[in-house]
Chains A and B, each alone.
Chain A
């Protein structure tokens, strides 16, 4: 069968099971777009290429599939970089196809030419420049395989225009075999036996789970293991939802804005089982003081994560789900004695910490609206069942603290890169992956303006995403740091001019609602959440509310600033 490169791309996408792509057309991808119009692959036309990648990211996380983007060369390609970097930090499988100028023009500073393979080398798991149409089928197969296997991540494929137009004899490539890339899935059982010995002896054990548990689909195994061994669980921001937020063993999130009990437990534990985490500085604070009384077990599929930031007692390289499954099995045969009695002092201590310093805020009836109150009501009204995306900053941290996720893949946030403008396009992607679910973007008035243009995408494709804006008129998290560490000098964090979000929603053909009093919060949420349209809800919240607890950067995480 003779096919053009563009036709081969479509064939390969179909063979990878791709039914949706996020993209933006342009000069050098016309050939591909022409072929695309002849297929039933759904193309979501975004309004900015950054939005395409975030949407593919949200799609991948909510749907557990690989997200796909298609953009043009030059500015189309450079606009994807932030999205790619965010997916890279959070290990999300995304394949980005960028157009490129024809091969004979590469290196000539041609119109809309950039070396996107060079630019994205440090923020992709891998990337390819396709020089010959003959290589295209194999490269696409490898790109998808690399993106989703091992520790997942974004892969970029750069497609020169002539590669797409040349006709060759097409044969479907077979399975991928890469001699230089073989992720270790099966954990070493001897290492796990050693882990179980530590678990048997531990007086004050805790589990610290991260995004790796969600990526490996190991939440069930984690929950089973924790309950069986009565070990309390904390997670990183990326791990929220990996363990049910209503379970008595749940400690809340760890780290800079973690709960008092999770951070105190970290300081006091004698064994930490870290699964699918990378000990980010926002988690550890001062590394020397982190879990300093504990033996640390670190389970991760990526060997570079282990011993990068924190010395560990027992490293285990492998798939988190498989490791937890094995540990659960070993726990059946382990000798814990009277487990309830053994754990009682430790679990009692945690309950004490919880009652001593719970997450707290004061909502006066007369106002102003507290952002935490909005999130608590959002949680109650959605019963913790909604898919929540966030922007970055206070909105993100309050969501992490006050929305108690019961299940994985429900919390979608730019964790590692901390990328403002992520939430709305990610919500669009999540809504496409899960059309029957309620999808809410929790935003701030600052970050929503970073990709607000995607409102048009949501309306065009009839996506009923809900946007909750916690509107405090500030870049709130930066303002909070200025308040605490820069003598309240609010240098350029006051957004005194913002659009009227209600009118803006209407201008986009969406619904706009506003609450300015505490009594309006629930009615606005009810009207907005249960509408079948795209809705912006503008909550005018207390302007100088802070996120607490807070650990100053570089301090031990047991030294928290409390309300």
Chain B
């Protein structure tokens, strides 16, 4: 069966140990976590957690059911197949030799990145976008030399009716 990426967004109790219950569920049952992102919502006792996972249809169904079964999980939404916006933020530290600096800034400009730190040898740029945009940018920067990268993982929300 085909294994697809799925974006699951869930509301959970904002309590110690909840993340561990969810991470433990995934590791204990051999499910995949591609990325995971969690922070408080407008209600301080509730957090929103976004997981990108991979699996065939029965596995994804089982993941959703198992998550719902956890007492601290309030609601699970499957975003994949629905109309939603997704964004990820990345900080990319690029090796900036003098002859590459103009090129880096040009690429950064095209991708609407912000240069957030300029060092003697490295530039750090901030980029937000969906997965496609991020991988396109990384492909262009790779030949120049990426020292390190920090990504937040995807956050997502359903689109509202237009």
CB closest chain-B residue, reference A151: B69
Cβ B58 vs Cβ A307 within 8 A: yes
Identify which of A117, A181, A304, A311 contacts B62 (C-beta below 8 A): A304
Cβ A180 vs Cβ B65 within 8 A: no
What chain A residues lie within 8 Å of B20 (beta carbons)?
118, 121
Q: Which chain B residues numbered 14 to 48 have a C-beta less than 8 Å away from chain A?
A: 16-17, 20-21, 24-25, 28
What chain B residues lie within 8 Å of A126 (beta carbons)?
71
A121-B17, A304-B62, A308-B62 as given contacts; A181 in contact with B71, CB under 8 Å: yes
Cβ A302 vs Cβ B71 within 8 A: no
Identify which of A117, A121, A129, A179 contacts B74 (C-beta below 8 A): A179
A126 to B69, CA, bound (A): 10
Any B CB within 8 A of the CB of A323 = no
Cβ A307 vs Cβ B61 within 8 A: yes
CB closest chain-B residue, reference A302: B69
What chain B residues lie within 8 Å of A118 (beta carbons)?
17, 20
Cβ B71 vs Cβ A146 within 8 A: yes
Any A CB within 8 A of the CB of B128 = no
**Closest CB in chain A relative to B132 CB, distance in Å:** 33
- Main secondary structure, interface of B, reads helix
Identify which of B16, B28, B58, B71 contacts A180 (C-beta below 8 A): B71
How many of chain B's residues touch chain A, expressed as a range? 20 to 34
CB closest chain-B residue, reference A122: B28
What chain B residues lie within 8 Å of A129 (beta carbons)?
16-17
Any B CB within 8 A of the CB of A178 = yes
The 0/1 profile, CB within 8 Å of B marked 1, for residues 308-350 of chain A is 1001000000000000000000000000000000000000000
How many of chain A's residues touch chain B, expressed as a range? 10 to 19
Cβ B17 vs Cβ A307 within 8 A: no
A98 to B90, CA, bound (A): 44
Cβ B21 vs Cβ A121 within 8 A: yes
Any A CB within 8 A of the CB of B49 = no
Any B CB within 8 A of the CB of A26 = no
What chain A residues lie within 8 Å of B130 (beta carbons)?
none
Any A CB within 8 A of the CB of B13 = yes
Identify which of A125, A180, A303, A307 contacts B13 (C-beta below 8 A): A180
**Closest CB in chain B relative to A511 CB, distance in Å:** 45
CB closest chain-A residue, reference B67: A304
The 0/1 profile, CB within 8 Å of A marked 1, for residues 45-82 of chain B is 00000000000001001100110110111110000000
What chain B residues lie within 8 Å of A180 (beta carbons)?
13, 71-75
What chain A residues lie within 8 Å of B13 (beta carbons)?
180
Q: Which chain A residues numbered 269 to 317 have a C-beta less than 8 Å away from chain B?
A: 302-304, 307-308, 311
A181 to B28, CA, bound (A): 22
What chain A residues lie within 8 Å of B71 (beta carbons)?
125-126, 146, 178, 180-181
CB closest chain-A residue, reference B74: A180
CB closest chain-A residue, reference B62: A308
A180 to B66, CA, bound (A): 13
What chain B residues lie within 8 Å of A146 (beta carbons)?
71
Cβ B58 vs Cβ A122 within 8 A: no
Cβ A307 vs Cβ B21 within 8 A: no
A117 to B16, CA, bound (A): 11
Q: Which chain A residues numbered 166 to 188 have a C-beta less than 8 Å away from chain B?
A: 178-181
What chain B residues lie within 8 Å of A121 (beta carbons)?
17, 20-21, 24
A126 to B73, CA, bound (A): 12
A308 to B31, CA, bound (A): 14
Identify which of B21, B65, B73 contacts A303 (C-beta below 8 A): B65
A457 to B73, CA, bound (A): 41
Cβ A122 vs Cβ B24 within 8 A: yes
Q: Which has the most chain A C-beta neighbours within 10 Å: B25, B65, B75?
A: B65
**Closest CB in chain B relative to A212 CB, distance in Å:** 15
The 0/1 profile, CB within 8 Å of A marked 1, for residues 67-104 of chain B is 01101111100000000000000000000000000000
What chain A residues lie within 8 Å of B24 (beta carbons)?
121-122
**Closest CB in chain A relative to B47 CB, distance in Å:** 12
Cβ B68 vs Cβ A303 within 8 A: yes
A486 to B92, CA, bound (A): 57
The 0/1 profile, CB within 8 Å of B marked 1, for residues 432-451 of chain A is 00000000000000000000
**Closest CB in chain A relative to B23 CB, distance in Å:** 10
What chain B residues lie within 8 Å of A311 (beta carbons)?
58
What chain A residues lie within 8 Å of B74 (beta carbons)?
179-180
A307 to B13, CA, bound (A): 28
A303 to B62, CA, bound (A): 9
What chain A residues lie within 8 Å of B72 (beta carbons)?
180
The 0/1 profile, CB within 8 Å of B marked 1, for residues 109-142 of chain A is 0000000011001100110010000000000000
What chain A residues lie within 8 Å of B25 (beta carbons)?
122
Cβ A117 vs Cβ B17 within 8 A: yes
**Closest CB in chain A relative to B129 CB, distance in Å:** 33
A125 to B68, CA, bound (A): 13
Cβ A304 vs Cβ B17 within 8 A: no
A117 to B69, CA, bound (A): 18
The 0/1 profile, CB within 8 Å of B marked 1, for residues 146-157 of chain A is 100000000000
A-B contacts, 18 of them at CB < 8 A, read A118-B17, A121-B17, A121-B21, A122-B24, A122-B28, A129-B17, A179-B74, A180-B71, A180-B72, A180-B73, A180-B74, A181-B71, A302-B69, A303-B69, A304-B62, A304-B69, A307-B58, A308-B62
Closest 3 CB pairs of A and B: A180-B74, A304-B65, A126-B71
A302-B69, A304-B65 are known; give 19 further A-B pairs, CB within 8 A. Answer: A118-B17, A118-B20, A121-B20, A121-B24, A122-B24, A122-B25, A122-B28, A126-B71, A129-B16, A178-B71, A180-B13, A180-B73, A180-B74, A180-B75, A181-B71, A303-B65, A304-B66, A307-B58, A308-B62
